[in-house]
Amino acid sequence: NAGVTQTPKFQVLKTGQSMTLQCAQDMNHNSMYWYRQDPGMGLRLIYYSASEGTTDKGEVPNGYNVSRLNKREFSLRLESAAPSQTSVYFCASTAAYEQYFGPGTRLTVT
């Protein structure tokens, strides 16, 4: 089992460009999450999906959209990237309480 995988690992965007971060899990978990992590701070929840077909906003959803494509995949889209979205993005999944995290995507917006 690969666990939680994320692509790409690194990305540089110019202000105003769009991109989609991909996340997949092979643990048959119902719930999936997207977080961002800024220097010196903990993880902040952007969006989550409690089950296939549902998505809900977290603490910092502005500027992002998500799609729960199927049970395995949960993508995060930046429609018009801004320098404030420079961060490391982590996807996670869970069956109950313990969350399993992917390796992260380091995004820089110039």
Give the residues lining the site for other proteins (CB under 8 A). Answer: 4, 31, 33, 38-45, 48, 50, 58, 90, 92, 97-104
> From the CB of 90, what's the least distance to other proteins, in Å?
5
> From the CB of 17, what's the least distance to other proteins, in Å?
25
**Residue 74 contacts residue 23 (beta carbons within 8 Å):** yes
> From the CB of 59, what's the least distance to other proteins, in Å?
8
Nearer Cβ to other proteins, position 17 or 31? 31
Nearer Cβ to other proteins, position 33 or 64? 33
CA distances from 61 to 19, 27, 47, 48, 72 (A): 16, 26, 6, 10, 21
Nearer Cβ to other proteins, position 58 or 63? 58
Rounded CA gap, 107 and 25, in Å?
Answer: 21
CA distances from 20 to 14, 23, 77, 89 (A): 14, 10, 4, 12
